[in-house]
Amino acid sequence: MGGHELAAAAAATLPEPPKENLYVVLGHVGTGTFGKVFKASHTISGRMVALKQIKMEGEKEGFPVTAMREVKLLQSLRHDNVVRLYEMMVSHGTVYMVIEYMDHDLSGVLQQKEFEFTDAHLKSFCRQMLSGLAYLHHKGVIHRDIKGSNILVNSRGELKLADFGLARVYQKRRKSDYTNRVITQWYRPPELLLGATVYGPEVDMWSAGCIMLELFTKHPVFQGVDELQQIYVIYKWMGTPTLEAWPGLTSLPWYELFKPTEPIPNRFREGFKKWLSPAGLDLAEQLLSWNPETRITAAQALEAPYFNQESPPAVTPVGMSALEGEWHEMESKRERDKRRRVED
């Protein structure tokens, strides 16, 4: 489908600008792939929604092709752990996606100090994330941008995957050639850092492993300042990969560029045993497998002993309804900046 056809398809699904204000904007809660995201309430029902703006500047064809892809994808997805697209709307020449409103995102809610998450709560978040990913991958969708600010949580403790701006549909029996300039750097798997362009849903599973560690440590674990340092930060925890464990390693385009001068030992279990249980460590290690071919799938991960044998069982953090305010990455950044100013 070319740009003109996409624009026409988009226009066909968009209602006329409303004669009265259907939604009242209550505040700015973040930034999506295409523009700002606002909290709003529906004037008749009072239902809270997120209005996700789609920027049109500089779009010769009208509606951005990637935004159209996100709209079509979200329209086809229905799962408890995937955010819902209610409708499309045009107001004063701006196009909005009207999406289910979620009170918090994972980046924000992990930084707040009011509500204490138990290991059972964190296990629930982990299981909900993997359940959403298992559904996407079953539907043939790679998310390609799993990170804390794209994982939303409501006051009932329900977790939903959001922001499908980089998502792609893939052929299940055949890996396609894509760009490796996807997935926010701290959550990007080693094969993409080493230049791979042929990949599938296993790239999301590495990101899920990063999120699993972040749930317990409360901060992103692999924080590199650039791509070169990023791979070294991973080496520091996971050790250097061997050819036995990852036979395709040396054929990756940037392997020579990132090759360490000497082997680095794996410190993963030693480094994270104070945060994760034994079965939790096993699952995180399988999610963070160097070799994408042996990395655990979302469906397999849901069957792991961590969820099905080891105590405590997962418990949805329903007590979050008592949490004051709303926590998104924006608020947690503001709080951090405020604390820094006080400390300075």
* Mean pLDDT of the chain, nearest integer: 86
Mean pLDDT of 54-82: 78
Task: Say whether the peptide bond before residue 220 is cis (omega within 30 degrees of 0).
Answer: no
| Statement: residue 148 has pLDDT above 70 | yes
Mean pLDDT of 151-160: 95
**DSSP of 157-179, one letter per residue?**
S-EEE---TT-EE-BTTBPEE--
**Within this chain, do residues 93 and 110 fall inside the same structural domain, yes or no?**
no
- Which of 49-63, 225-239, 247-261, 294-308 is most confident? 294-308
**Within this chain, do residues 82 and 178 fall inside the same structural domain, yes or no?**
no
Per-residue pLDDT of 85-111, as tens digits, reads 998 888 887 888 899 999 999 999 999
**Within this chain, do residues 152 and 274 fall inside the same structural domain, yes or no?**
yes
**Within this chain, do residues 53 and 126 fall inside the same structural domain, yes or no?**
no
| Statement: residue 337 has pLDDT above 80 | no
**Within this chain, do residues 76 and 148 fall inside the same structural domain, yes or no?**
no
Residue type (1 letter), 61: E
Give residue 332's pLDDT band: very low, low, confident or very high (50, 70, 90): low
Q: By 3-state DSSP, what share of the chain in percent is helix, strand and coil, each rounded to 5?
A: 40, 15, 45
Per-residue pLDDT of 270-310, as tens digits, reads 999 999 999 999 999 999 999 999 999 999 999 999 999 99
End-of-domain residue from the set 100, 124, 158? 100
Active-site annotation holder among 105, 145, 163, 204: 145
| Statement: residue 168 has pLDDT above 50 | yes
- The answer as to whether 139 is a domain residue is yes
Is 177 one of the catalytic residues? Answer: no
- The answer as to whether 137 is a domain residue is yes
- C-alpha dihedral over 151, 152, 155, 157, to 10 degrees? -30
- Residues of the domain holding 265: 104-308
- The answer as to whether 338 is a domain residue is no
**Within this chain, do residues 173 and 302 fall inside the same structural domain, yes or no?**
yes
CA distances from 267 to 102, 108, 216, 273 (A): 37, 28, 17, 10
- The answer as to whether 4 is a domain residue is no
How many domains are contained in the chain?
Answer: 2
Per-residue pLDDT of 180-205, as tens digits, reads 777 899 999 999 999 999 999 999 99
| Statement: residue 32 has pLDDT above 80 | no
